[in-house]
Amino acid sequence: MQYKFPENFWWGAATSGPQSEGRFNKAHRNIFDYWYDTDPDAFFDKVGPNVASNFYNSFREDIDLMRQVGLNSVRTSIQWSRLMKDFETGEVDADAVRFYNEVIDEFIAKGIRPVMNLVHFDIPVELLHQYGGWESKKVVDLFVIFARKCYELFGDRVKDWITFNEPMVIPEGGYLYKFHYPLKVDGKAAVQIVYNINLASAKGVQAYHEYCEKEGIKDGRIGIVINLTPAYPRSESPEDVAAAHFAEIFKNNAFLDPAVKGEFPAELVKILTDDGVIWESEPEELEIIRNNTVDYLGVNYYHPARAKARETALDESLGWLPEKHFEDYEWPEARINPHRGWEIYPKAIYDIAINVRDNYGNIPWYISENGMGVEGEAKFRNADGVIDDDYRIDFIKEHLEWLHKGIEEGANCFGYHLWTPIDCWSWMNAYKNRYGLIAVDDLATQKKTIKKSGVWFKSLSENNGF
Ligand code: BGP
């Protein structure tokens, strides 16, 4: 064996409620449910979240498949729009409580550690329509009501919590680049949302620590999952380096720094102030952010960013955009995943490991998502009906080699989660790109088959390396 990982390493996979459960028996609609109901054409093949991978109905079989591919930990999310009957009073939906209780118990019975996330891009659509979603601090307070309920209901068994998955995607998708509902372009709102979500996450951390204190729970912890896209400059010229630096502090540090260090990067605050788009903040909120940093960190890593000094004019009519300070650069040597269009650059995982080691107090962290989306996977099915996805095995190995190097050099990384256990529904792309260790062979029948990578992942997990 060439690559051995630390003891008790998490070998797992991640999914989310909206992408796996299906909309069965839901108390409310989230923004994706609503978007699909009002504009199904926006989704690949017009496939929406109605069935997803049917986890609501087949969670026992699905969790058994997850056990069969060797997962010792799995992250999913509790849907706000399923759990809460009344967002203000905190009244919960009885069927949702039953469902999440049974899911959590089933994971534990199968020897899989459940990692529970609270927001995976999804908020109940009423909170968007009534209050303006994350633009509003009212929604921050309603989030705390939801978070508290989750801890109270499930915190006796769930010991690993996450406040938000990839919080930056919320302003990017919904308020800058129009790939998520509400499909706005409003840079100032996006910046306020960055702040409000940081505040919500800190309040969620605070509420969890209070809950543990009250219940005498000593082994619980709470973190945040951030999609880190290290930004590499086109050249060593000061202009390109400054552009990449801005991309880095806007895309990554705007969440990483408050979550881990309790403060926003001063340089970012200055630039946003100079640009006239700085968020509205109160001293007591900044105090909450300062005093409620996370216990651990999840890092989603798919691809790096590459930046150069801006050369082409921005469309002024769009108002302020972060791209004022950089321009995306297409590195000619980049290896691109042709299906998803994302660059494959495994070394960035090592760079992240060293950055967290040196600049973030070597906080405990894990890779909470990494993976390869492939279109038309059915063509790789062999005579036995199994998808021969050697490309996925190679992709994982390459990333693990760099992660291993980081760990050997002192990175405090305790696990690796693949996106995703079972092919699942993806936001706009629906079922176009498949990521799972387990295939959904047919969306209509929901027949599921372990892929070659699933068999390999089991040996990876059992051997604690490869
Ligand atoms: C991450 C999200 C996941 C998942 C994944 C794959 O950003 O946290 O929810 O969707 O990306 O991306 P996609 O489904 O867009 O191909």
Q: CATH code at 430?
A: 3.20.20.80
Question: Is residue 244 included in any domain, yes or no?
Answer: yes
Task: Tell me the CA–centroid distance for residue 352 and ligand 1, in Å.
Answer: 19
Indicate whether 252 belongs to any domain: yes
Annotated catalytic residue 172? no
Half-sphere exposure of residue 223: CA atoms within 13 angstroms, side-chain side: 22
Ligand 1 near 369 CB (within 6 A): yes
| Residue 4 placed within a domain | no
Ligand 1, closest atom to CA 426?
14
- Let me know how long the chain is: 466
Structural domain contains residue 378? yes
Q: Check pLDDT > 80 for residue 1.
A: no
> Best mutation site among 426, 429, 432 for ligand 1, i.e. most ligand atoms within 8 A of its Cβ?
426
Residue 332 is assigned to a structural domain of this protein = yes
- What share of the chain has pLDDT > 90, as a percent? 100
Say how many domains are in the chain.
1
Q: Examine residue 2 and state whether it is found in any structural domain, yes or no.
A: no
- pLDDT for residue 5: 98
Predicted pLDDT of residue 77: 99
pLDDT bin (cut points 50, 70, 90) of residue 437 is very high
Complex confidence, ipTM = 0.98
Instruction: Provide the b/e sequence for 204-233 (b: ≥16 CB within 10 Å).
Output: bbbbbbebbeeeebeebbbbbbbbbbbbbb
pLDDT tens digits along 364-420: 999 999 999 999 999 999 999 999 999 999 999 999 999 999 999 999 999 999 999
Q: What is the pLDDT of residues 177-229, one digit of tens each?
A: 999 999 999 999 999 999 999 999 999 999 999 999 999 999 999 999 999 99
Instruction: Decide: 340 in ligand 1 pocket, CB within 6 A.
Output: yes
How far does CA 16 lie from the centroid of its chain? Answer: 9
What rounded mean pLDDT belongs to the chain?
98
Residue 165 has pLDDT above 90, yes or no: yes
Q: Is 166 a catalytic residue?
A: yes
Residue 76, domain member (yes or no): yes
Q: Which atom in ligand 1 lies closest to the alpha carbon of residue 225?
A: 8
320 pLDDT band (50/70/90 cuts)?
Answer: very high
Domain range for 411 is: 10-463
Report yes or no on 1 lying in a domain: no
Catalytic pick from 21, 285, 369, 377?
369
pLDDT of 266 reads 98
Name the residue at shortest CA distance from atom 4 of ligand 1: 426
- Whole-model pTM? 0.98
242-293 per-position pLDDT tens digit: 999 999 999 999 999 999 999 999 999 999 999 999 999 999 999 999 999 9
